[in-house]
């Protein structure tokens, strides 16, 4: 065929790839979709031919053939409309998106306030093969959210939840926040701390609660007084700084402040410095997550290295596996974390 006297290039088809590679079209399809048993040698040969010929599978045809949307929905239930400014949420979304994109899936992202969840139709109209959700609120609220998600009749993955909901097509993926809290408490106790505050946001997150429970468990076992919780509103720098100053004015300063995350810990460091408290000599401070900001403060923050990006990636891989095989590989996945000592705490004596 010609157009204005010039030949028109025909698109490369899966049959062209099969002919060049010396295999069947089904074998090429299996390599593209990660199905079937194809030897490594054959798979490498097919991929080289795909690259050589510049073959690009038709996403539209693929969707029609497999009766899939090739879309994953993500629901973030949080009161703050600026939720993507939270580095922990952003890291999970990034890990999820990168893995889905590499596997030809797209992502629909919705944020919903807990107070609007019962009246909004923002998520029921999402046409997706599966869902991923990050939930906030108390346990009763989150149970209600899960029941509503189950009505979509699509598999879903909950991030940072502590229990697998019964009788649902669901998996949970979380990092070991409770163990992170335990490691922080052991370190502070070994460095001489006996009186503790913990900075927590007003919004209840399952992960934050697990960090507090892990730390409290170790502190109680050591015979020290339980943690005093300082509520820090929306966990922003300004609010956390202000609430820490108020607490220092009305209460005897503790030996150590445990930040629910790094941002809150850094705000507490600045508040303590404003009060003339030397860190770590007079007061020790720890964070949680080890995103880049931990290294930009002086003294360098003691923290816990998060698996947030890996949580998002694993959620994507589990959903794709569920869609391909009909079952999740695991229904409860717990990723390890790593304690990272800095200079905002003393060395264990």
Indicate the domain borders of the chain.
Answer: 2-57, 71-176+308-338, 177-305
- The residues, ordered by sequence, that sit 6+ positions from 168 with a Cβ below 8 Å of its Cβ are 146, 149, 150, 156
What pLDDT, on the 0 to 100 scale, is given for residue 337? 94
What pLDDT, on the 0 to 100 scale, is given for residue 110? 86
How far, in Å, CA of 32 to CA of 104, rounded?
10
| 3-class SS of residue 196 | strand
11 versus 53: which is more confidently predicted? 53
How far, in Å, CA of 5 to CA of 19, rounded?
29
Total residue count of the chain as it appears in this document: 349
Q: How many CB atoms lie within 10 A of CB 48?
A: 12
How far, in Å, CA of 233 to CA of 245, rounded?
14
CA-based radius of gyration for the chain = 25
CATH 3.90.550.10 assigned to domain 177-305? The reply is: no
Query: At residue 124, does pLDDT exceed 70?
Result: no
Instruction: With cut-offs at 50, 70 and 90, classify the pLDDT of residue 339.
Output: very high
Instruction: With cut-offs at 50, 70 and 90, classify the pLDDT of residue 59.
Output: very low
183 versus 55: which is more confidently predicted? 183
Contact indicator for 319, 155 with CB cutoff of 8 Å: yes
How far, in Å, CA of 338 to CA of 51, rounded?
40
Instruction: With cut-offs at 50, 70 and 90, classify the pLDDT of residue 57.
Output: low
Query: At residue 7, does pLDDT exceed 70?
Result: no
How far, in Å, CA of 252 to CA of 212, rounded?
21
CATH 3.40.50.2300 assigned to domain 71-176+308-338? The reply is: yes
H or E element at residue 282: none
How far, in Å, CA of 303 to CA of 345, rounded?
10
How far, in Å, CA of 73 to CA of 126, rounded?
7
Cα dihedral value 240, 291, 260, 276, nearest 10: -50
275 versus 167: which is more confidently predicted? 275
CATH 3.40.50.1260 assigned to domain 2-57? The reply is: no
Average the pLDDT over 74-83 and give the result. 82
Count helices and strands (H / E) in the chain: 11, 14
Contact indicator for 21, 43 with CB cutoff of 8 Å: no
Q: What is the pLDDT of residues 195-224, one digit of tens each?
A: 999 999 988 888 999 999 999 999 999 999
How far, in Å, CA of 170 to CA of 315, rounded?
11
| 3-class SS of residue 308 | helix
Q: Is it true that 2-57 and 177-305 share their CATH fold?
A: no
Average the pLDDT over 14-32 and give the result. 86
- The residues, ordered by sequence, that sit 6+ positions from 149 with a Cβ below 8 Å of its Cβ are 75, 123, 131, 133, 156, 168, 170
CA geometry: angle at 19 spanning 30 and 15, to 5°?
60
Average the pLDDT over 115-129 and give the result. 65
Contact indicator for 290, 303 with CB cutoff of 8 Å: yes
Query: At residue 63, does pLDDT exceed 60?
Result: no
How far, in Å, CA of 301 to CA of 265, rounded?
8
Give pTM, 2 decimals: 0.76
């Amino acid at each position: 065929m010609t157009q204005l006297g010039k030949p028109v290039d025909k698109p490369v088809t899966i049959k062209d790839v099969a002919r060049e590679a010396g295999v069947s079209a089904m074998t090429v399809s299996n390599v593209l979709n990660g199905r079937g048993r194809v030897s490594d040698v054959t798979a490498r040969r097919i991929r080289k031919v795909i690259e050589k010929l510049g073959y690009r599978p038709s996403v539209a045809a693929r969707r029609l053939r497999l009766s899939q949307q090739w879309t994953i929905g993500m629901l973030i239930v949080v009161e703050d409309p600026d939720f993507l400014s939270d580095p922990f949420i952003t890291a999970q979304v990034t890990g999820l998106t990168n893995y889905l994109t590499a596997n030809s899936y797209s992502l629909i992202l919705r944020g919903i306030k807990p107070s609007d969840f019962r009246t909004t139709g923002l998520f029921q109209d999402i046409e997706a093969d599966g869902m991923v959700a990050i939930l906030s609120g108390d346990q009763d609220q989150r149970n209600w959210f899960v029941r509503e998600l189950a009505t979509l009749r699509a598999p879903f993955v909950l991030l940072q939840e502590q229990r697998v909901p019964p009788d649902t097509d669901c998996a949970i993926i979380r990092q070991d926040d409770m163990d992170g809290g335990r490691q922080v408490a052991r370190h502070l106790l070994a460095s001489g701390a006996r009186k503790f505050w913990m900075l927590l946001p007003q919004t209840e997150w399952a992960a934050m609660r697990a960090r507090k429970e892990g730390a409290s468990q170790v502190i109680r076992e050591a015979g020290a007084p339980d943690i005093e919780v300082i509520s820090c509103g929306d966990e922003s720098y300004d609010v956390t700084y202000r609430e820490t100053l108020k607490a220092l004015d009305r209460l005897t300063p503790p030996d150590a402040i445990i930040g629910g995350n790094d941002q809150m810990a850094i705000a507490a460091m600045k508040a303590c410095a404003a009060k003339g408290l030397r860190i770590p000599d007079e007061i020790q401070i720890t964070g949680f997550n080890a995103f880049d900001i931990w290294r930009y403060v002086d003294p360098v923050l003691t923290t816990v290295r998060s698996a947030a990006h890996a949580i998002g990636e694993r959620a994507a891989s589990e959903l794709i596996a569920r869609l391909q095989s009909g079952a999740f590989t695991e229904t409860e996945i717990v990723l390890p974390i790593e304690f990272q000592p800095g200079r905002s705490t003393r060395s264990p004596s």
